[in-house]
Amino acid sequence: MQAAKTRSKWAEFLDLEIDPASERPLFQQIYLMLRTAIVSNALSPGSRLPSTRQLADRLDVSRTSVLTAYEQLIAEGYVAGQAGSGTYVSHDVPQAILASQPPAAILRKANRRTLSEAGQRYAAVAADLVVTEHMAFGTGCCSIDAVTVEAWRRISAQEMRRFDPINLGYADPMGEYALRNEVAQYLRAARAVQCDPEQIIILSGAQQAIDLSLRLLIDPGAAVWVEDPGYFATRAALVAAGAKLVPVPVDGDGLMVHEGIARAPKASAVYVTPSHQFPTGSVMSMARRLDLIAWAAKSGAWIIEDDYDSEFRYVGRPLASLQGLDRDGCVIYVGTLSKILFPGIRLGFAVLPEGLVSAFKAARYLADRQPPTPHQTIVAEFMRQGFLNSHIRRMRQRYREARDVVVESITKELGDLVEIEVPECGIQLVMHFREAISDLAVTAEARRAGVVVKPVSPLYLEAEARSGLVLGYSGFDLHQLRAASANLARATLAVARRKAS
Binding site for ligand PLP (CB under 6 A): 139-140, 205-207, 231, 273, 278, 306, 308, 336, 338, 343, 348
Query: At a CB cut-off of 8 Å and minimum separation 6, what does 73 contact?
Result: 31, 34, 35, 38, 79, 87
CA 96, distance to chain mean position in Å, is: 40
Q: Least distance to ligand PLP from the beta carbon of 499, Å?
A: 30
Q: Least distance to ligand PLP from the beta carbon of 382, Å?
A: 17
| DSSP category for residue 470 | E
Give the residue nearest to ligand PLP (CB).
Answer: 205
Nearest to ligand PLP of 318, 343 (CB atom): 343
Task: Give the C-alpha separation, 328 to 214, whole Å.
Answer: 20
| DSSP category for residue 274 | -
Q: Least distance to ligand PLP from the beta carbon of 308, Å?
A: 4
3-state secondary structure 355-381: HHHHHHHHHHHHHHCCCCHHHHHHHHH
CB-neighbour burial class of residue 477 (10 A; exposed 0-12, middle 13-18, buried 19+): middle
Nearest to ligand PLP of 50, 140 (CB atom): 140
Q: How far is CA 213 from CA 251, 262, 269, 368, 467, in A?
A: 26, 24, 10, 16, 32
| DSSP category for residue 321 | P
Nearest to ligand PLP of 89, 206 (CB atom): 206
Nearest to ligand PLP of 140, 281 (CB atom): 140
DSSP β-ladder status, 302-306 and 331-336 = parallel
Q: Least distance to ligand PLP from the beta carbon of 454, Å?
A: 10
Nearest to ligand PLP of 87, 207 (CB atom): 207
Nearest to ligand PLP of 27, 186 (CB atom): 186
Compute the residue count for the chain. 501
Q: Least distance to ligand PLP from the beta carbon of 472, Å?
A: 9
Biggest distance spanned by C-alpha atoms of the chain: 87
Q: Least distance to ligand PLP from the beta carbon of 233, Å?
A: 7
Task: Give the C-alpha separation, 382 to 401, whole Å.
Answer: 25
Nearest to ligand PLP of 59, 388 (CB atom): 388
Q: Least distance to ligand PLP from the beta carbon of 346, Å?
A: 7
Nearest to ligand PLP of 68, 143 (CB atom): 143
Phi and psi torsions of 88, nearest 5°? -125, 150
Q: Report, in angstroms and rounded to the nearest whole number, the Rg of the chain calculated over CA atoms.
A: 29
Q: Least distance to ligand PLP from the beta carbon of 234, Å?
A: 7
Nearest to ligand PLP of 344, 355 (CB atom): 344
Q: How far is CA 128 from CA 123, 132, 193, 271, in A?
A: 10, 12, 33, 19
Nearest to ligand PLP of 260, 348 (CB atom): 348
Q: Least distance to ligand PLP from the beta carbon of 330, Å?
A: 20
Q: Least distance to ligand PLP from the beta carbon of 208, Å?
A: 7
Q: Which residues pair with 335 in a beta bridge?
A: 349
Contacts 24+ apart (CB under 8 A), 485-490: 485/405, 485/406, 485/409, 485/410, 485/413, 486/409, 486/413, 487/446, 487/449, 487/450, 487/451, 488/137, 488/410, 488/413, 488/442, 488/446, 488/449, 488/451, 488/453, 489/410, 489/413, 489/414, 490/449
Nearest to ligand PLP of 277, 467 (CB atom): 277
Nearest to ligand PLP of 88, 349 (CB atom): 349
Q: Which of 107, 111, 99 is nearest to 41 (CA)?
A: 99
Q: Dihedral through CA 124, CA 126, CA 130, CA 131, nearest 10?
A: 160
Q: Least distance to ligand PLP from the beta carbon of 470, Å?
A: 9
316: left (phi over 0), alpha (psi -120 to 50) or beta: left
Task: Give the C-alpha separation, 313 to 393, whole Å.
Answer: 10
Q: Least distance to ligand PLP from the beta carbon of 456, Å?
A: 13
